[in-house]
Amino acid sequence: MASSTFQTILASVKDAAANVNSSQIEQFTGFRVDSVDEFMRKTEHTGPKNYGRGFLAGVLGGIVGVGVKMIVDRSMAPDTVQFEDKLAEDVVDAAEEAAGVDLSDRQEDVAEAIVEVGIGAVIGGVYGLMVEALPEAKATASGDQGGGAFAVVQQLAVPALGLVPATAKDVAKDTMENLAGHIAFVATAEIVRRASRYYMEQ
C-alpha cells in the first residue's frame, strides 16, 4: 500500500512536470518562467533586514501553506487526526464554553479551519522573522545544508519501494500519510515567503 501511494505521488509529479509548457505560460502571463534554481537564486534576499516585511512574507507563506496542507491531508490521510486538528478543536470547544454558545457541526468545522489558518499564519510569521534575523535558518532543499524534507522522503522511500519487510512498510505508510501535509506546508510556506519577500523589494 505504501509502495502504491508513493508511486502515485511520483507519477502525478512526473505527469505535471511533463505537461508544463513554459512558453505558453510565458505568452499568457507576459512573465518569464524561472527554473527552480533560477527562482531560488533570484529570491535569495541579501539586502538590509526589514522585520516587518519578513514577518508579513512569513504570514502569507503560512496561510497559503495551511491551505495546501489541508488539501494534502484530505487526499493522503482523510481519516487521520493531525495534531493541529485536535488543537483547533480544543480551542473552538473552549471558546464555545467561554461564550456560552453551542455551534452546529458545520459551524465548528468552519471555526476549526479558521483556527488552523491562524496557527499557520503565526508559525509562518515567526519563521519569516527568524529568516530575516538569521538567513541560515531558512528551510532548504540542499542536502549539504540540512535538507530535512529530503531526509524524511529518503527514509520513507526505502520501505515504500519494498526494500524492507512488510511491518516497516506499514510504519512508513502511516508516517508518510502523517508527514505529507507537514512537508507540503513547509515547502509551500518557504516558496511563498521567498516570492513575497522578493516582490516587496521591487
pLDDT along the chain (202 residues), means of 10: 52 56 61 69 83 94 91 80 83 92 91 92 90 72 42 44 47 62 84 90 82
pLDDT tens digits for range 144-195 = 444 444 344 434 444 444 444 444 444 445 566 667 788 888 888 888 998 9
Q: What is the pTM of this model?
A: 0.67
Backbone angles phi, psi at 134, to 5 degrees: -130, 90
Closest to 138 in 3D by CA, of 127, 153, 148:
127
Task: Read off the amino acid at residue 74.
Answer: R
Cα separation, 72 vs 177, in Å, equals: 9
Closest by CA position to 113, among listed 141, 133, 84: 84
Q: Give the per-residue pLDDT at 40.
A: 77
Place of cell 491562524: 118
CB 140 within 8 A of CB 117: no
By the 8 A CB rule, do 116 and 65 touch? no
CA dihedral 148, 150, 154, 155 (to 10 degrees): 20
| pLDDT of amino acid 167 | 46
Tell me the one-letter amino acid at 85: D
Instruction: Give the DSSP letter of residue 35.
Output: P
What is the structure's pLDDT at 27?
Answer: 62
